[in-house]
Structure 1
Amino acid sequence: MYLYTENPLKFAFSQTEFDDSTRNHKASYGIIGVPFDSTTTYQPGARYGPLFVREASYNFENYNLFLKKKFNANVYDIGNLESVHGNFHKTCTNLKSVVSSMVDDCLIPITIGGEHSISLGVINALEIQDATILHFDAHMDLRNDYMDEKYSHATVMRRIHEKKPLKIIQMGIRSSSLDESDFARDNNIDYYTSQDLRSNIHGMQRIINKIKGPIYVTVDMDVLDPAYAPSVSTPTPCGITPQELETLIFCLEGKKIIGFDVVEVASNVIGDITAINAAKIILDLLFLQ
């Protein structure tokens, strides 16, 4: 049983409704929007991300020139979560319930945020072991608490690590507290800065290529430089380019992706470049399948 609100605007190339008879041996994906941004600490508006990312998806062709692939994924858009504004725990509980139902229907979850804290609800629902979390972000999100909140977009990776001590690889990092850096070092969390990516993109490709087993991908849009993604909750200069991120995402071809999210899109107008880049990231991941 899904707990969602119908959204008249569906993601481009998705099925209009879930119909098990149309599925085949290929992996199938379920899109869920989570319009929630109650712990945002700088620029609000990520609650509008699902709307504007969906709208931006209609800007793209169903053929990827670089991969030489036509869009061929089974994708179902089930609408938006009934998030509870101002209440992370209820929203997270609702999200876990929805994602669990999606998994029961053999759908791989694609989550459009919304703030980054929602990743915790998705990963809790997946009940995964021996998996790698590939985390693209400007920030480590490893604080134990932020502004007296233990559950926040600034603490989400710390909570995930505590709940499920999985392998975490972070890429694009360029902002951190000393405590976060120490925690990453002491807990075998690998992180690579935006400078690492720019100076050694081939090395970053090799790291992703070597990942074995299931992978969960989480993309905070502030991993991109504000020139390419200005409408995010915490824009941070000296980020990576869309081309660099695309290069790394293409390394996931043939890997077992068990879910992914794209979060922190705070667009509020049609044609905003942040939403356009977010939609492209989702489509790139789907073209790989």
Structure 2
Amino acid sequence: MFPGATADREAASYVVVGAPLDATTTFQPGTRFGPDEIRRFARSFDDYDYQTAQHFTELGVHDAGDVRAWDDVAEYIDYLGGQLRDIVWDDAIPLVLGGEHTVTVPAVEAVDPDVFVCLDAHLDLREAYDGTEWSHACVTNHTLDTAEKAIIIGARTGSEAEWERAAEADVTVVEPGAVDDWLADPPAFDDEVVYLSVDIDAADPGFAPGTGTMEPGGLTPQQLQRLVSAVAPAAAGFDVVEVNDRDDGQAAALAGKLLRTFVYHHAANTTP
């Protein structure tokens, strides 16, 4: 159980779901251990958040456990999407623990947002990679079948074709050097529904080495927390993905902290 996720399923405002898919990782595998690592390294966090004056245990978070993964990625994605749609239909917010980034696709389809906001080192705008359209490198491309636009924050690498795709009107890229300026005047989102995805490799690997494809030149934990805090009030779904077990818990601890940051700031801005 994610620490502090003590609410009953029927009464939950937020539902944690582990999605330990580890099928298309292209460098360092291990995302199958991500959900358990995140839960484990979140044990030391205090229940009280002084910035929002809230207790995590009072915010209606339930942990539904993991949706066990299998080799047929397309079939798994379809099944996972059904589980996440149930959460949305119950008027709760899905909080997905990856697992590779591919698990974001069914979560976005379940939430059906207007805007996909992704914190990521990579553009993930490929149509296929290593012979499959269900690669973790194709996630943002897939989400644009559902969302009207994507904002990719922290991106610093991609193929030539991906950068050309990113130049189109429905994609905004906020490179690492521009993040503080973006935070100084973030979008209001108005009545737009947002889905927020955090690929832990958005962080500089010095802060989160436990991930599949490390890319130097990334964001600090403080920037990531500020980004999550800024987007959370408009979001109807959240995930943190691409954590593996190849460090001493740095990536998992950061992931758990970002999930809690999301819940605190979403609840603070939506609770009457």
CA distance in 2, matches of 1:34, 1:63: 27
Structure 1 contact 108–258 (Cα < 8 Å) conserved: yes
| 1:242 partner letter | P
Residue 30 of structure 1: aligned partner: 15
Say which of 64, 67, 89 aligns to 1:78: 64
Moved over 6 A (4+): none
Residues 1:178 and 2:160 are matched in the alignment: yes
CA distance in 1, matches of 2:59, 2:67: 23
Say which of 204, 207, 212 aligns to 1:233: 212
State TM-score, norm by structure 2: 0.92
Shift of 1:252: 3.1
CA distance in 2, matches of 1:272, 1:222: 14
Shift of 1:184: 1.4
Alignment of 1:146-185 (within 5 A): 146-161=129-144, 163-185=145-167
State TM-score, norm by structure 1: 0.86
Task: Name the SS of the counterpart of 1:173 in structure 2.
Answer: coil
Residues 1:223 and 2:205 are matched in the alignment: no
Shift of 1:33: 0.1
**Residue by residue, what CA displacement relative to the aligned partner does 1:84-133 show, whole Å, maximum 9, x if unpaired?**
1x21111101101101111222221000000001111111222x25x211
Give the helix-richer structure, 1 or 2: 2
Structure 1 contact 82–94 (Cα < 8 Å) conserved: no
Residue 91 of structure 1: aligned partner: 76
Structure 1 contact 143–180 (Cα < 8 Å) conserved: yes
Residue 104 of structure 1: aligned partner: 89
Task: Name the SS of the counterpart of 2:136 in structure 1.
Answer: coil
Unaligned stretches of 5+ residues in structure 1: 1-9
Quote the sequence identity (%).
Answer: 29
Structure 1 contact 52–268 (Cα < 8 Å) conserved: no
CA distance in 2, matches of 1:165, 1:217: 12
CA distance in 2, matches of 1:250, 1:120: 22
Structure 1 contact 116–220 (Cα < 8 Å) conserved: yes
Alignment of 1:1-289 (within 5 A): 10-15=1-6, 17-20=8-11, 28-71=13-56, 72-84=58-70, 86-126=71-111, 128-129=112-113, 131-161=114-144, 163-197=145-179, 201-208=180-187, 210-212=188-190, 213-252=192-231, 255-267=233-245, 272-288=249-265, 289=267
Shift of 1:165: 4.2
CA distance in 2, matches of 1:34, 1:203: 31
Unaligned stretches of 5+ residues in structure 2: 268-272
